Structure formats: structure tokens, C-alpha cells
Amino acid sequence: MLSVILWALGISLAINGVMFLVAFWLKSDKLTDASYAVTFGVLAAMALAHSPRAVYAWIGGGLVWLWALRLGGFLLYRVMRAGRDRRFDGLREHFWQFGKFWLGQAITVWILMLPVMLALSAGGGQSVLVYLGAGVWLAGFLLESTADLQKYRFTHNPAHKNQWIDTGVWRYSRHPNYFGEILVWVGLYLYAWPALSAGGRLIGLSSPLLITVLLLFVSGIPLLEKAADQRWGDNPRYMAYKNRTSLLIPWPPKKN
């Protein structure tokens, strides 16, 4: 187990380290999301290379690849069309500040992938949790994909300029894409559970916990909520939407 954890960390650091040097040299942030997705895919492939290659392992790797391909492709297309990622304004020109983001990204991918890598390397087994995990993953994947597509189409419609999205799945949650993301990693943890030792289950729990903490308290919802309040906080219609709509978990709107 320790060897899997260590080589996975080394691979994640190596991929993001090389991509960071290229991105810093080009003063570009178009490689960050591509590197993020590629790291997931490579780690899943390496875990499969060390697995008995049973159907369980191939399906588990496929879930990661499908999610990474969809999210990475979407994020890359979005930044290519926008021309830049505003998160890195004032950072991409500074080696250490820009590098800290890439280091954090490498460690994040590594932690998120821990239960999957340990499970695929072990081979897997039959359990109702395998099917439950795959079902939770599918629900999260579909919700995240739908939310991203709906918001992208909304924000790129000139008729919706300077408006917030409150239609589709966004009518039921202010951050449905983040809830979908959390479900993806909860589902993968459940899928991995039967193949993990007691120690592996404890270590692997860091994956869904990390993504939940990041999105709820660090780099996800707090930043977007602050930006939305600064932009529309004096708009009664926006405040009404905010008050009636669930923060994260999709839920029927409250009656004002």
C-alpha cells in the first residue's frame, strides 16, 4: 500500500512540475486544467498497470477517465475561448506564487485518487457498495455535466448579459456543479471500499473529505458567493433568488 501511495505522489508531482515550468515559460494558464485532467488519467492508468486487470478495475479506471475527459475538455475549451483564467491574473508572472498553485494541484489530485489507486491495485471484489458507488458516481457526473453546460450556454447568451443563472438545475441549487463533483468522489470512494483494507478505507476517506472541504470552505463556494454578492448584492431579485435557493444540495425553492 505504501509503495502505491508514494509512486502516485511522485507521478503527480512530476506531471504538474513539468507542466508548471512550461506554463511559466509561456506565461500561460491554458495548461492548468489540462494538466489536472491528465494527472488523474495517468494515475488511473498506472494503478491499472499494477492491478489484476479484472472487470472491477477496468470499470473503476473508466469512471475516472470519463470524468477527467469530460471536465478537462470542458475547462480547456472554456479557457481557450476566454483567452485567460482570471484566477491567475497577477500570479502567472511570478514563479513562486504561480508554482504554489501547481503544487497544490498535484497534491489535491494525489489525495483524491488515493482510494481508487489502492482499490485498483488490490483488484476488487463483489459488494452492493460497488453498484451503489457506481450509481452515486453516475448521478454526480450527470449533475455536474448538466450544470456546467447550462451555465456555459446561459453566460454566453448575449440576452443574459450581467445576469445570474436561475434556470435548469440552478433553480434548485446555487452550486449544483459542486454538489455533482462531491457526489463523483463519494461514489468512487464507495466503489473502492470493498477492495480496501481497514487502513486503506481510513486513508481513502481523505478523498471525499478533501473535495468537500475545498468546495464548501476554501476555493469553491466562498469565493463565488463573495463575487456574486459584490456584483448583485444590491439587486432585490438576486437576493430573493439567494434566499429561496439551496446553497449546495438541489432542493425545491422556498416560497418567498
- The per-residue pLDDT for range 62-95, each reduced to its tens digit, is 999 999 999 888 888 887 776 666 666 667 777 8
Report, as an integer, the average pLDDT of 229-242: 95
101 and 18 in a single domain? The answer is yes
239 and 149 in a single domain? The answer is yes
105 and 152 in a single domain? The answer is no
Q: How confident is the model at residue 183, as a pLDDT?
A: 98
119 and 183 in a single domain? The answer is no
Instruction: Print the domain residue range for 206.
Output: 125-256
52 and 120 in a single domain? The answer is yes
119 and 135 in a single domain? The answer is no
172 and 162 in a single domain? The answer is yes
Is a pLDDT exceeding 90 seen at residue 23?
A: no
- The per-residue pLDDT for range 198-220, each reduced to its tens digit, is 999 999 999 999 999 999 999 89
102 and 217 in a single domain? The answer is no
Domain count, the chain: 2
Query: If DSSP states are collapsed to H, E and C, what string results for the chain?
Result: CHHHHHHHHHHHHHHHHHHHHHHHHHCCCCCHHHHHHHHHHHHHHHHHHCCCCCHHHHHHHHHHHHHHHHHHHHHHHHHHHHCCCHHHCCCCCCHHHHHHHHHHHHHHHHHHHHHHHHHHHHCCCCCHHHHHHHHHHHHHHHHHHHHHHHHHHHHCCHHHCCCCCCCHHHHCCCCHHHHHHHHHHHHHHHHHHHHCCHHHHHHHCHHHHHHHHHHHHHCCHHHHHHHHHHHHCCCHHHHHHHHHCCCCCCCCCCCC
116 and 153 in a single domain? The answer is no
Average pLDDT over the chain reads 90
Answer whether 0.95 is exceeded by the pTM. Answer: no
150 and 96 in a single domain? The answer is no
Q: How confident is the model at residue 9, as a pLDDT?
A: 95
